[in-house]
Amino acid sequence: MAFVENSINPYDVALQQFNRAAANLREIDDNILNYMRYPRREFTVNFPVRMDDGSTKMFTGYRVHHSTVLGPSKGGIRYDMHVSMDEVRALAMWMSWKCSLVGLPYGGAKGGVIVDPRVISVGEKERLTRRYASELIPLISPHSDVPAPDMGTDGQTMAWIMDTYSMTMGYSVPAIVTGKPLMIGGSEGRKQATGRGVVTVMMEAMRRAGITDFGKVRVAVQGFGNVGSHAAYYAHENGFKVVALTDIHGGIYNANGLHIPSVMEHQTIYGTIVGFPGADSITNAELLEIECDVLVPAALENQITGHNANNIKAKFIIEGANGPTTPEADDILNDKGVLVVPDILANAGGVIVSYFEWVQDLQAFFWTEDEVFRKMDPFLTRAYETVTRTAEERGIDMRTAAQVTAIKRVADALKTRGIYP
């Protein structure tokens, strides 16, 4: 089943969202706003990889730095056949606003390689990763650009990047990437952070809506990768009724709720949630339009569009993925009274704990998982309060309020620093 509506350009979506926010920032000079529409730098690399059969295959990769005004750029690396420069541009821009919104000293970056990671061997993936990392060495460092995992990459991928960079430097540099395994400088809680943060934000939305009995709240989660699986798990742990899930193979539904630890065990055994006992089969399209109270799109961008937004029955949408809702869909959902908690707020738990990992690596002093989550949650709840207040004061929706808040912080920093030279 396809998750992406490929006809929609994600960079066009990012710019439309920016323009909507900019229209509510009359106090900011147009020259500064125009400056922030453009990525600071874009890098394209074409590189060879030796395959297991002895042949050499060419691959194309990208890295985009959208902003470095607030600090080093920060953003993931994804391996996927749909990776494009415009997708990476959009994701880098969203990372700038996400880091700004939650108060991190980072700008936004993103990277990717056009490859299907499911059809290459572990050895081929390692050689591809190391060669791509070597091509990025002019751009990345613990003080200029810090990559992290994204779709199609994981802690092992980050370990290869760290080792490649460290071998080039001649000494170990754990702070070059985040999302690493614990034994080489990773942080407790990093793998769970994005999904757990989604649930932290969801609970804040429920509380502000006066909903205290989570057992009556039906949740549907699109995507059962790292973000979706942990969001579903923590929702289940906090008493929510998770009724529907999908992955790239299909979906499952049970009106009485799914036992998420058992679903995760099923996925570990069979490689998919499809066929989970006691659940009905559903499609991805059906999940998005299913009877539920909260919808968590945690797959890819462009899932909720003008074509299906009218059919969505959820009253709350908590965006676990980046860019899952198009501007046209936003207008429809806002008119319907659906509360959309935007990606740059809802899924910021991952980059917050990435920041914690970076800080721990730089000081060579590490925290427990309890300490990590105790420090993470206030970042999210403070940001939620700020966005809610901005939305109320300016009479705008949550997404526009989040971007207004984030863009203004970057603009203020840019104005203070000045334009070089």
> Mind listing the pLDDT tens digit for each residue in 233-261?
999 999 999 999 999 999 999 999 999 99
Q: Which two tokens stand for residue 233?
A: 């798990």
Per the annotation, the verdict on 125 as an active-site residue is no
What pLDDT is attached to residue 300? 87
pLDDT for 271 beyond 90: yes
pLDDT in the model for residue 6:
54
Say yes or no to pLDDT of 48 above 60: yes
List, edge to edge, every strand of the sheet that includes 294-297: 280-282, 250-253, 241-247, 218-222, 294-297, 316-318, 339-341
- Domains of the chain as residue ranges with CATH: 40-186 (3.40.50.10860), 191-346 (3.40.50.720)
* The one catalytic residue among 57, 74, 98, 110: 110
Query: What is the per-residue pLDDT across 353-388, written as a single tens digit (0 to 9) for each?
Result: 999 999 999 999 999 999 999 999 999 999 999 999
Check pLDDT > 50 for residue 143. Answer: yes
Task: Give the confidence band of 347 by pLDDT, cuts at 50, 70, 90.
Answer: very high
Average pLDDT over the chain, rounded to whole?
A: 97
Element holding 411 (H helix, E strand): helix 398-417
Q: Report which of 190, 253, 266, 272 is spatially closest to residue 227, judged by C-alpha positions.
A: 190
Mean pLDDT within 95-122:
98
Is a pLDDT exceeding 50 seen at residue 178? yes
Instruction: With a cut of 50, say whether residue 148 has pLDDT above it.
Output: yes
Mean pLDDT of 69-77: 98
pLDDT at 147: 98
Is the pLDDT confidence value at 61 over 70? yes
Q: For the segment 184-237, what is each residue's pLDDT rounded down to a tens digit?
A: 999 999 999 999 999 999 999 999 999 999 999 999 999 999 999 999 999 999
pLDDT for residue 2 is more than 50: no
283 has a pLDDT exceeding 70: yes
**Structural tokens at position 256:** 């009485």
Average pLDDT over residues 331-357: 98
pLDDT of residue 208: 97
Say what the pLDDT of residue 160 is.
98
Full DSSP string of 256-304: T---HHHHHHHHHHHSSSTT-TT-EEE-HHHHHTSS-SEEEE-S-SS-B
pLDDT score, position 44: 98
Model confidence at 1: pLDDT above 90: no
pTM attached to this predicted model: 0.96
